[in-house]
């Protein structure tokens, strides 16, 4: 069923309250907030017990973000977690469950009127549920029948490419490896994932320039750097444990430059959550320089810095690392040639930052011998994200700041195993080397035609090229851009199926028939007929570690993701597959042995991963080897972004609040920004509010423009905020209605979730 007003699903909790943004991150309020959440979700026992195992050597990997753990000797013995990690655990460890009774009480139409917040709040999914064509309610179904249903739906397709197999970044290495093997044996590379909407630009730009689409630094490099530039990231909320490393960096005398259209609390002051003596006072100030760019002004800003650097180098040749460039890089002359033709004044205007501040930033760069550049969604979710990242690499190469201690690239990943899923082959364009190894290890021929990205998946569903959507985790209809279009695409499908822990919007905006298969969470014990199993994940720094839950499963009829994927594969592929799916599903060591055969760097996987702290995957760029097509690090020549919008309009970004994990809304308190009680708000600069004749908290209508089409989001309250003039912000996923499917990067296909042209008008 198609509901026009899809925004209904984000209804606010209570009255909007606005306070000035906080000046210090973490400290006591964070601990208090965690305590409350554990109490609320789990009635203490389940939550507190499991919190002690979080990120411990013998514990489980935090299901929240992908920030690396310290080496075992440096870990806190009680708790290696942050406020938002704790919220993620409390959310998963919820004591409530929903099953047959719940689904017979609520029809699909009832559920469509509920917010996603409400849906997830009902508790953990506890038994497989089936929605037959035309039915009003989901009904219980056995695991066996559920697997058979999927097999029928898949096997009746004329072409395997008519099915789409999405993955969210929480799936373990073992589940992901089995899933991609199943999908490729079924006959397609249609393996889009959340990466396609996240760090895809990073993968594209870094693979080409440094030869590896991942960070080149390890956790302990951060404290050793002279200068850390952080672009488009809000670590205080989205990677809180990063602040601990930033504090160490400061204590060692390093400098931090934060580049962001709004000042984020995490950079201003920090109090360590596990050091109560730090809870009083103003905390450690982190940023030395804050550059308030225009949205997407980063490319111009870096170019402007590079121009000044080049000028300075003419007076002092030691500013560039000539030896490194000579030995390790290609493309220097073309790059310098372009730089000499740049119009500095124009770059300054495009960036939105003053000339004096650009000069100051350049001075920091000149004086630093070791530089790290970190970035996240404020850089990747643009049509030109790849080029901005190429400029980051240009800067690092000029300074010889890669492949040495305390220097390099630091794209900060999102989902806790999004990087591992890619390593395991969740990739619509997996390289030939991976596919060839897979062929060999399993004696079959994997398809070679590229599959669809997340955005292309929607296009294929709309054009009926695809008819089945299967999701291993995630909440695709709220994560993808253009909510109304995605919901229509899902409704058009013949069959939709999700493997999930909690009920969400993607389960009730369904195809003709639909299935929900409930799985164990990472906090829970996974015991098969041969004993307890563990899984593995990979963090941002490329470290692989084991993870083992310690809570009893919340319901008896749950299966692990691995068991579900193996069950689906065995039933769908039947004797067309020679994989021992049943043995895989009870003994994960067998899966890991196969991973070892297929993917470089996993030799002795089963043994190595049991060592305290796990092991690092090979990272040639870290060691000074650049394995791209030139065998050298590459300077790039980029095209200026300079995107124009119509006069009187604004550039809108979508961002996360402090109280959510992607589409999961934990609560309504964006504590650091001082905004609580309501998420239907638009953050706007005071002067813009005044110049447009709006009042504080007045309700306005937002209209977005792309390719001649308008999209609307009405009745959002104006909140004055120190954001760059001409820029506005709303929360993700509420704002997704405004993002045209076609508003995406050419190269990576990543939706431009941080650059939407809008006008804002009074509501009546």
Ligand X SMILES: Nc1nc2c(c(=O)[nH]1)N[C@H]1C(S)=C(S)[C@@H](COP(=O)(O)OP(=O)(O)OC[C@H]3O[C@@H](n4cnc5c(=O)[nH]c(N)nc54)[C@H](O)[C@@H]3O)O[C@H]1N2
What is the smallest separation between the CB atom of 88 and ligand X, expressed in angstroms?
7
Residue 3 CB neighbours (<10 A) = 16
Nearer to Mo ion, 180 or 233 (CB): 233
Paired tokens of 750? 């990543």
**Contact indicator for 725, 685 with CB cutoff of 8 Å:** yes
Which partner from the list Mo ion, ligand X, none does 390 bind, CB cut-off 5 to 8 Å by kind? none
Q: Are 148 and 565 in contact (CB under 8 A)?
A: no
CA atoms of 185 and 439, how far apart (whole Å): 10
Binding mask 186-225 for Mo ion (x = CB under 5 A): ------------x---------------------------
262 binds ligand X (CB under 6 A): yes
Q: What is the DSSP string of 108-139?
A: HHHHHTS-HHHHHHT-EE-S-EEE-TT-SS-E
| Chain center to CA of 41 | 24
Selected range binding ligand X among 45-53, 94-102, 190-198, 401-409, rule: CB under 6 A: 190-198
264 binds, among Mo ion, ligand X, none (CB under 5 to 8 A by kind): ligand X
Our finding on whether 90 is near ligand X (CB under 6 A) is: no
Minimum Å gap between C-beta 733 and ligand X is 6
Q: Where are the beta strands (DSSP E) in 454-558?
A: 468-472, 495-500, 513-518, 526-528, 531-533, 535-538, 543-547
Q: Which pairing describes strands 513-518 and 495-500: parallel, antiparallel, or unpaired?
A: parallel
Interacting residues with Mo ion between 408 and 447 (CB under 5 A)? 414
Residue 553 binds to ligand X (criterion: CB under 6 A): no
Using CB under 6 A as the binding rule, whether residue 661 contacts ligand X is answered as yes
- For residue 721, say if its preceding peptide bond is cis, omega within 30 degrees of 0: no
Reported in sequence order, the residue ranges of 551-632 that DSSP labels E, i.e. its strands, are 615-616
- Sheet containing strand 675-676, edge to edge, reads 17-18, 675-676, 669-670
Q: How far is the CB of 321 from ligand X (least distance, A)?
A: 26
Size of the site for Mo ion (CB under 5 A): 2
Among 428-436, 651-659, 672-680, 685-693, the segment contacting ligand X (CB under 6 A):
651-659
Size of the site for ligand X (CB under 6 A): 63
Rule CB under 6 A: is residue 496 a binding residue for ligand X? no
The nearest distance, CB 522 to ligand X, in angstroms, is 6
539 binding ligand X? (CB under 6 A): no
Q: Compare residues 124 and 199 and give the one whose CB is closer to Mo ion.
A: 199
Query: Closer CB to Mo ion, residue 198 or residue 728?
Result: 198
Residues in contact with ligand X, shown as a per-residue x/- string from 53 to 72 under the rule CB under 6 A: -----------xx-------
Look at residues 78, 76, 57 and name the one whose alpha carbon lies nearest to residue 613. Answer: 57
614: helix, strand or coil: coil
> Rounded to the nearest whole angstrom, what is the least distance from the CB of residue 313 to ligand X in the complex?
25
- Residue indicated by tokens 């695709």: 476
Pairing of strands 255-259, 675-676: unpaired
- Does residue 410 contact residue 217 with C-beta atoms inside 8 Å? yes
Phi, psi of 120 (to 5 degrees): -70, -30
Minimum separation from the CB atom of position 693 to ligand X (A): 26
For residue 668, give the DSSP letter.
Answer: S
CB of 197 to Mo ion, least distance (A): 7
Query: Which positions from 684 to 723 touch ligand X by CB under 6 A, shown as an x/- string?
Result: ----------------------------------------
CA distances for 441 relative to 35, 192, 464, 578, angstroms: 48, 23, 34, 11
- Give which of Mo ion, ligand X, none residue 296 binds (C-beta under 5 to 8 Å, depending on kind): ligand X
3-class DSSP string for 374-395: EECHHHHCCCCHHHHHHHHHHH
Q: Which is nearer to ligand X, 81 or 335 (CB)?
A: 81
Could you tell which of Mo ion, ligand X, none binds residue 237, using a CB distance below 5 to 8 A set by kind?
Answer: ligand X
| Binding to ligand X, residues 193-222 (CB under 6 A) | 194, 197-198
User: Does 385 participate in binding Mo ion (rule CB under 5 A)?
Assistant: no
Residue 558: is it exposed, middle or buried by C-beta count within 10 angstroms (0-12/13-18/19+)?
buried
- In which residue are the tokens 């850089």 written? 379
CB of 195 to Mo ion, least distance (A): 7
N-to-C CA span, the chain = 30
Decide if residue 304 touches ligand X (CB under 6 A): no
**Where in 443-472 is the site for ligand X (CB under 6 A)?**
472
| Binds 399: which of Mo ion, ligand X, none (CB < 5-8 Å by kind) | none
How far is Cα 582 from Cα 566, in angstroms, rounded to an integer?
A: 7
Question: How far is residue 667's CA from residue 120's CA, in Å, rounded to a whole number?
Answer: 11
CA dist 544 and 688 (Å) reads 48
734 near ligand X, rule: CB under 6 A = no
Binding region for ligand X (CB under 6 A) out of 102-110, 254-262, 432-440, 639-647: 254-262
Those residues whose C-beta lies under 8 Å from the C-beta of residue 521, and which sit 6 or more positions away, are 63, 92, 93, 124, 501, 549, 554
Please identify which residue in 27, 123, 474, 511 interacts with ligand X, judged by CB under 6 A.
Answer: 474
Q: List the one residue from 99, 269, 425, 735 that touches ligand X (CB under 6 A).
A: 735
Q: Taking CB under 6 A as the rule, does residue 378 contact ligand X?
A: yes
Which one, 83 or 321, has the nearer CB to ligand X? 83
Question: Is 86 one of the binding residues for ligand X (CB under 6 A)?
Answer: no
Q: Which is nearer to ligand X, 325 or 454 (CB)?
A: 454
Work out the angle at residue 590's Cα, subtended by the Cα atoms of residues 586 and 593, and round it to the nearest 5 degrees: 160
* Interface with ligand X (CB under 6 A), residue from 55, 233, 536, 628: 233
Which residue among 38, 62, 227, 500 contacts ligand X (CB under 6 A)? 500
Q: Which does 258 bind (CB under 5 to 8 A by kind): Mo ion, ligand X, none?
A: none
How far apart CA 168 and CA 418 sit, in angstroms, is 7
Give the shortest CB-610-to-Mo ion separation in angstroms.
29
Residue 710: Cβ within 10 Å count:
12
| C-alpha span between 443 and 437 (Å, rounded) | 10
198/564 with CB nearer Mo ion = 198
Contact of 493 with 502, CB cutoff 8 Å? no
Residue 524, phi then psi, degrees to nearest 5: -100, 155
Kindly tell me which of 430 and 486 has the beta carbon lying closer to ligand X: 486
* Residue 388 site contact among ligand X, Mo ion, none (CB < 5 to 8 Å, cut-off depends on kind): none
Report which of 558, 557, 569, 562 is spatially closest to residue 547, judged by C-alpha positions: 562
- Tell me the residue number closest to Mo ion, measured at CB: 414
- For ligand X, the binding residues (CB under 6 A) are 64-65, 84, 120, 168-170, 194, 197-198, 231-234, 237-239, 259-262, 264, 293, 295-296, 298, 376-378, 381, 414-415, 472-476, 479, 499-502, 504, 519, 521-522, 561, 653-656, 660-664, 732-733, 735-736, 739, 753-754
- For Mo ion, the binding residues (CB under 5 A) are 198, 414
């Amino acid at each position: 069923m198609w509901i026009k007003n899809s925004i209904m699903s984000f209804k606010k909790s209570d009255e909007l309250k606005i306070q000035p943004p906080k000046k210090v991150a973490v400290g006591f309020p964070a601990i208090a907030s965690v305590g409350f959440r554990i109490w609320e979700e789990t009635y203490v026992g389940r939550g507190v017990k499991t919190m002690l195992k979080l990120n411990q050597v013998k514990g489980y990997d935090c299901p929240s973000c992908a920030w690396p753990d310290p080496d075992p000797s440096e870990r806190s013995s009680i708790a290696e977690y942050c406020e938002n990690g704790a919220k993620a655990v409390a959310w998963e460890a919820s004591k409530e469950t929903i099953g047959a009774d719940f689904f017979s009480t609520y029809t699909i139409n009832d559920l469509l009127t509920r917010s996603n917040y409400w849906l997830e709040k009902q508790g953990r999914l506890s038994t497989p549920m089936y929605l037959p064509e035309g039915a009003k309610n989901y009904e219980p179904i056995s695991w066996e029948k559920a697997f058979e249903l999927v097999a029928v739906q898949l096997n009746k397709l004329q072409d395997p490419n008519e099915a789409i197999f999405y993955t969210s970044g929480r799936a373990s290495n073992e589940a992901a490896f089995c899933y991609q093997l199943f999908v490729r044996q079924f006959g397609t590379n249609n393996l889009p994932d959340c990466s396609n909407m996240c760090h895809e630009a990073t993968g594209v730009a870094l693979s080409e320039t440094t030869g590896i689409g991942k960070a080149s630094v390890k956790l302990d490099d951060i404290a050793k750097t002279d200068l850390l530039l952080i672009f488009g990231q809000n670590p205080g909320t989205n990677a809180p444990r990063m602040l601990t490393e930033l504090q160490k960096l400061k204590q060692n005398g390093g400098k931090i430059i934060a580049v962001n259209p709004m000042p984020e609390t995490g950079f201003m002051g920090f109090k360590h959550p596990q050091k109560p003596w730090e809870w009083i006072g103003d905390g450690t100030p982190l940023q030395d320089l804050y550059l308030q760019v225009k949205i997407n002004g980063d490319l111009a800003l870096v170019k402007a810095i590079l121009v000044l650097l080049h000028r300075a180098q003419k007076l002092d040749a030691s500013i560039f690392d000539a030896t490194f460039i000579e030995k390790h890089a290609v493309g220097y002359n073309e790059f310098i040639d372009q730089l000499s033709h740049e119009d500095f004044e124009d770059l300054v205007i495009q960036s939105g930052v003053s000339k004096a501040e650009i000069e100051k930033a350049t001075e920091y760069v000149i004086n630093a011998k070791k530089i790290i550049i970190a970035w996240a969604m404020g850089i990747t979710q643009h049509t030109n994200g790849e080029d901005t990242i190429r400029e980051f690499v240009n800067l690092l190469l000029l300074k010889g700041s890669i492949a040495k201690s305390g220097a390099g690239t630091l794209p900060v990943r999102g989902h806790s195993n999004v990087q591992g899923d890619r390593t395991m082959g969740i990739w619509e364009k997996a390289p030939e080397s991976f596919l060839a190894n897979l062929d060999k290890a399993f004696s079959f021929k994997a398809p070679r035609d590229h599959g669809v990205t997340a955005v292309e998946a929607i296009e294929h569903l709309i054009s009926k090229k695809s008819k089945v959507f299967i999701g291993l985790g995630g909440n695709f209809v709220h994560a993808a851009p253009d909510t109304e279009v995605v919901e229509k695409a899902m409704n058009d499908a013949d069959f939709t199926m999700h493997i999930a822990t909690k009920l969400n919007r993607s389960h009730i905006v369904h195809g003709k028939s639909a299935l929900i298969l409930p799985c164990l969470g990472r906090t829970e014990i996974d015991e098969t007929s041969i004993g307890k199993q563990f899984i593995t994940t990979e963090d941002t720094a490329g470290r692989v570690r084991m993870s083992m839950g310690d809570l009893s499963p919340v319901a008896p009829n749950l299966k692990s993701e691995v068991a579900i994927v193996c069950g689906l594969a065995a039933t769908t592929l039947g004797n067309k597959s020679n994989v021992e799916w049943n043995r895989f599903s009870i003994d994960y060591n067998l899966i890991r042995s196969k991973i070892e055969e297929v993917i470089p760097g996993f030799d002795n996987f089963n043994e190595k991963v049991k060592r305290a702290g796990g092991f690092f995957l090979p990272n040639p760029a870290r060691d000074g080897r650049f394995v791209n097509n030139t065998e050298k690090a590459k300077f790039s020549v980029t095209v200026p972004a300079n995107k124009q919008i119509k006069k009187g309009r604004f550039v809108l970004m979508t961002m996360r609040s402090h109280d959510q994990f992607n589409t999961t809304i934990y609560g309504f308190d964006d504590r650091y920004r001082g905004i609580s009680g309501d998420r239907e708000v638009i953050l706007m600069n005071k002067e813009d509010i005044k110049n447009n004749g709006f009042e504080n908290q007045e309700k306005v209508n937002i209209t977005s423009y792309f390719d001649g089409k308008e999209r609307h989001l009405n009745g959002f309250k104006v909140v004055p905020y120190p954001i760059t003039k001409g820029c506005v912000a709303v929360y993700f996923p509420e704002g997704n209605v405004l993002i045209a499917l076609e508003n995406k990067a050419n190269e990576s296909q990543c939706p431009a979730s941080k650059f939407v042209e809008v006008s804002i008008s009074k509501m009546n």
